[in-house]
Amino acid sequence: MTRTVPSNTAERLPVADPVKLVCTTSTVYNTKISPTMEDGRESAAMKERERKERQIDQWCYTVDDGRGLENADSDIGLCGWILVVFSIFLTLLTLPLSIWMCIKIVKEYERAIIFRLGRILRGGAKGPGLFLILPCTDSFINVDMRTITFDIPPQEVLTKDSVTVSVDGVVYYRVQNATLAVANITNADAATRLLAQTTLRNVLGTKNLSEILSDREEIAHSMQSTLDDATDDWGIKVERVEIKDVKLPQQLQRAMAAEAEAAREARAKVIAAEGEMNASRALKEASLVIAESPSGLQLRYLQTLNTIAAEKNSTIIFPLPIDMIQSFMKH
């Protein structure tokens, strides 16, 4: 499939094919705005619109590829049709024994891709339920459509601020188009696993250590978008990506722990100093109130004596008025 489209292609396309019309219009529009992109004067809105147009183009090409694969048996040649007719005749000749070789069953969560003489049968994936094949000319492959999960092995990544960390994660994906998953790639599962590892390295390589520790959701969303775009041609839909654990070197952990401990001690000293200052202000205000009424000091003595007596102590201190002591000192 050629991605270059003439500017007047939209006029020559039939109206009955909206997919091609959308793809052609999007390509022509990209050609018009390309000088603005080269000059570097596009705004954030234009960048977002360009990204959406690229997604539309990618979707169009994927749909066209899927149509081509589903209609791949349209021309199997004269020898192919002779073999198909011979297989049908042989099946009818050996009935009812051959019926058990023709009937196949796929489960609710599976789809079957049928190959007739090496070409994908018209109509794409079959299932769930019963379907028929020709024993001599047809073969099929079952594709599991359920969500598959796998762990990303711990990856040693050098962050943007030159810190080595070990990060692992988990990926959830499913087969969205069984035909593309069989015809476009040898092993979709292994390819998705390898792509997830490289994507994790690439994404974390552009982040600082503080961003990796605090913005896990943003990193997971970025990985999910990148993987989903890359695996779209394989018929794979990446549903979710999660960062499981971020392991730091032992030396860095000790340094961060010492830094956090020093910060906590500094905050504790500041809080203690603020408490002493507030207590001194309260004592100053209390002394001013007691100085206005000398009997208030005697009441404070009695309250202190009551507190001491409540604790069942054997020693009781009885306060004497300071005025009595001053009179003795004068004599």
> pLDDT for 73-131, tens place per residue?
456 778 888 888 888 888 888 888 888 888 889 999 999 999 988 888 888 888 888 88
User: Please, is 223 exposed, middle or buried when counting C-beta atoms within 10 Å of its C-beta (0-12, 13-18, 19+)?
Assistant: buried
- Round the CA-based radius of gyration of the chain to a whole number and report it: 40
Query: What is the rounded distance in angstroms from the CA atom of residue 201 to the CA atom of residue 194?
Result: 11
What integer pLDDT is reported at residue 189 of this predicted model? 92
Per-residue pLDDT tens digits of the chain, which is 331 residues long = 434 444 343 333 343 444 443 344 433 334 344 443 344 444 445 545 655 565 555 455 444 544 544 444 456 778 888 888 888 888 888 888 888 888 889 999 999 999 988 888 888 888 888 888 888 888 899 999 999 999 999 988 888 888 888 999 999 999 999 999 999 998 999 999 999 999 999 999 888 888 888 888 999 999 999 999 999 999 999 999 999 888 888 887 788 788 888 888 899 999 989 998 998 888 888 778 777 776 777 777 777 777 777 666 666 666 666 666 666 666 6
Check if the beta carbon of residue 1 is closer than 8 Å to that of residue 64.
yes
Check if the beta carbon of residue 173 is closer than 8 Å to that of residue 192.
yes
For the question of whether the overall pTM of this predicted structure is more than 0.75, the answer is no
DSSP annotation of 117 reads T
Residue 134 has φ and ψ, to the nearest 5°, of -90, 125
Selection from 163, 166, 160 nearest residue 206 by Cα: 160
Helix (H, G, I), strand (E, B) or coil at 17: coil
What integer pLDDT is reported at residue 321 of this predicted model? 62
What integer pLDDT is reported at residue 53 of this predicted model? 62
Give the count of beta carbons closer than 10 Å to the beta carbon of residue 197: 15
Query: What is the rounded distance in angstroms from the CA atom of residue 228 to the CA atom of residue 171?
Result: 11
DSSP annotation of 125 reads -
Query: What is the rounded distance in angstroms from the CA atom of residue 132 to the CA atom of residue 118?
Result: 17
Helices (H), the chain: 9-12, 18-39, 44-70, 77-93, 99-102, 178-183, 188-204, 209-214, 216-230, 250-292, 294-310, 322-330
Alpha-carbon torsion 302, 307, 309, 314, what sign? negative
Give per-residue pLDDT as tens, 258-282.
888 888 889 999 998 999 899 888 8
What integer pLDDT is reported at residue 284 of this predicted model? 84
Helix (H, G, I), strand (E, B) or coil at 184: coil
**Tokens at 228, concatenated:** 């989903």
Written as one string, the DSSP assignment of 72-95 is: GGG--HHHHHHHHHHHHHHHHHTT
**Tokens at 171, concatenated:** 């990926």
Check if the beta carbon of residue 111 is closer than 8 Å to that of residue 180.
no
Written as one string, the DSSP assignment of 186-212 is: S-HHHHHHHHHHHHHHHHHTTS-HHHH
Check if the beta carbon of residue 137 is closer than 8 Å to that of residue 88.
no
